[in-house]
């Protein structure tokens, strides 16, 4: 699909045309589901995030001004929506500074596989405490700065850096297990 065709779909969505919304949903379903599953601990929660994210996109699509990547704009809406849900449900406040060095992984996660694919990484990330996992995703995967993370999660920049350091230490400690 060309950029012009996508822009036309977006303009029709701004006019609240249902058939354009369906096209947009189908066009970005897979990429936005990947965003959702990377923050959710299971597929059912990811599907809820996906549904809520698209609702937010359709409610706010008139604010998109055709500057920069539409998918990037959409992804940020999804992430902010997920973080708001985490805050509302107090998901990030459990064991906010839990030491990940003592967390043990189930050895069956990557049994018999010879490479470290994204699905394995996401599975491994589920062993991290919620806040550490989310901060790691925001910083490493989605490119948020420590300042942005601190503001959004209402933590200090040093705490954000600490969570990233802990997640990296966890991956480093378990890298040999992951590669088996």
Place of tokens 């299971």: 42
**Distance (Å, rounded) from C-alpha 6 to C-alpha 14?**
12
| Whether the Cβ atoms of residue 39 and residue 134 lie closer than 8 Å to each other | yes
pTM of the model: 0.79
Token pair of 49 as six digits:
């995030």
Domain with CATH 1.10.1740.10 in the chain: 3-89
Q: Residue 7: in which H helix or E strand, if any?
A: helix 3-14
The pLDDT assigned to 132 comes to 93
pLDDT band of 116, cuts 50, 70, 90: low
pLDDT band of 42, cuts 50, 70, 90: confident
The pLDDT assigned to 124 comes to 76
Domain with CATH 1.10.10 in the chain: 92-179
Place of tokens 């708001």: 84
Q: Each residue of 61-97: pLDDT tens digit?
A: 999 999 999 999 999 999 999 999 998 988 887 544 4
**Distance (Å, rounded) from C-alpha 59 to C-alpha 81?**
13
For residues 33-45, give the mean pLDDT. 92
**Distance (Å, rounded) from C-alpha 160 to C-alpha 110?**
28
Lowest mean pLDDT among 42-51, 54-63, 78-87, 103-112: 103-112
| Whether the Cβ atoms of residue 128 and residue 153 lie closer than 8 Å to each other | no
| Whether the Cβ atoms of residue 39 and residue 137 lie closer than 8 Å to each other | yes
**Whose CA is closest to 23, among 58, 56, 52, 53?**
58
The domain 3-89: what is its CATH number? 1.10.1740.10
Segments in 40-156 forming alpha helices (H): 43-60, 70-88, 118-125, 130-136, 146-153
The domain 92-179: what is its CATH number? 1.10.10
* Nearby residues of 24 by Cβ (< 8 Å), 6 or more positions away: 9, 10, 13, 57
């Amino acid at each position: 699909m060309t950029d012009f065709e996508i822009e036309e779909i977006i303009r029709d969505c701004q006019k609240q045309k249902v058939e354009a919304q369906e096209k947009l949903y189908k066009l970005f379903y897979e990429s936005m589901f990947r965003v959702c599953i990377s923050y959710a601990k299971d597929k059912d929660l990811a599907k809820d995030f996906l549904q809520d994210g698209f609702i937010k996109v359709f409610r706010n699509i008139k604010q998109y001004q055709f500057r920069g990547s539409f998918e990037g704009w959409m992804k940020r809406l999804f992430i902010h929506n997920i973080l708001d849900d985490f805050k509302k449900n107090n998901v990030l406040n459990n064991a906010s500074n839990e030491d990940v060095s003592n967390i043990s992984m189930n050895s069956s996660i990557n049994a018999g596989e010879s490479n470290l694919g994204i699905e394995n990484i996401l599975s491994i990330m589920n062993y991290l405490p919620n806040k550490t996992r989310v901060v790691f995703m925001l910083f490493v995967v989605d490119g948020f700065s420590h300042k942005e993370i601190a503001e959004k999660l209402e933590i200090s920049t040093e705490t954000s850096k600490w969570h990233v350091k802990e997640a990296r230490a966890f991956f480093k400690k378990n890298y040999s297990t992951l590669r088996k």
